[in-house]
Amino acid sequence: MMFVPGGEFVMGSAGGHPDELPQCAVKVGSFWLGEFEISNRQFRQFDPGHDSRDESRHGYQFGQRGYPMNGENQPAARLSWRKAMEFCAWLSGKTGKKFTLPDEAQWEYACRAGAATPFSFGGLESDYSGFANMGDIRLKEFAACTWMDGRVNGARVLENAGRYDDWVPRDNRFDDNGFVTMDTGSYGPNAWGLHDMHGNVWEWTLSSYKPYPFNAADGGNDPAGPGMRVARGGSWYDRPFKCTASYRVPYEPYQPVFNVGFRVAAPDL
């Protein structure tokens, strides 16, 4: 857990998606936030049967299930907001400390780490390859011809693949050396020591999906409240504009999503 000092920041983006407006000044008290996203190994201490599954191969299969997402240190994915909250309750009972998900303001404040730019390390044109696992040139590897030779599986990336094989949207400018999810902490931290706030997997927040300006007192952070819940940060499958500090996506709280995980927060330790 990393200490996040309290402060004030401008939440949202003037040049982003309409649901990032209006921008508003928000005060955030100090709290603690996980240095990394919760890994498969950590989550399975709570739910031994959890399966982040394989990411399905496109095109020809020939006996190959897909690309592995279940590594011990890969972030736990394909779990719902409710399951993430159950983990927080379990961890609270196990440690005697209060753990939960960060609300939207806490998450964005911690992600920015004092920066006013779309990424904690710069603007949308910044080279993110050392800081984040996003939808980069590596996604071309989905356009592959796979085969099985005895017990050995193989895959050959198709050069000059046609649009029916190579159709996943991506950013071709950079190579972050990550295809699907990477082990947590594989990329450099932000100024407050937090890794993978941009990319790798989306992260559940405590907050329900409500229009701005953000108001912590409007009931949106009530775990028993209604509505869809917000995930933040983008993933390995998303182009940079979806991985900014301010971009928001809503999902139903019961919905497990292939590229959504979480990290935990605590008011005090």
Residue 55 CA to residue 32 CA, distance in Å, equals 32
pLDDT tens digit string along 1-58? Answer: 999 999 999 999 999 999 999 999 999 999 999 999 999 999 999 999 999 998 876 6
Looking at residue 80, its pLDDT comes to 98
pLDDT tens digit string along 246-259? Answer: 999 999 999 999 99
Looking at residue 146, its pLDDT comes to 67
Looking at residue 167, its pLDDT comes to 77
Looking at residue 64, its pLDDT comes to 57
pLDDT tens digit string along 174-233? Answer: 999 999 999 999 999 999 999 999 999 999 999 999 999 999 999 999 999 999 999 999
Taking all residues of the chain, what is their mean pLDDT, rounded to a whole number? 92
| pLDDT band at 106; cut points 50, 70, 90 | very high
Looking at residue 170, its pLDDT comes to 93
In our burial notation (b when 16+ CB lie closer than 10 A, e otherwise), range 165-175 reads bbeeebbeebe
Q: pTM for the complete prediction?
A: 0.93
Q: Determine the 3-state secondary structure of 226 from DSSP.
A: coil
Contact 12, 246 (CB under 8 A): yes
For residue 60, is pLDDT > 50? no
Among 232, 20, 218, smallest CA distance to 106 is for 232
241 phi and psi, to 5 degrees? -65, -20
**Peptide bond between residue 213 and the one before it cis (omega within 30 degrees of 0):** yes
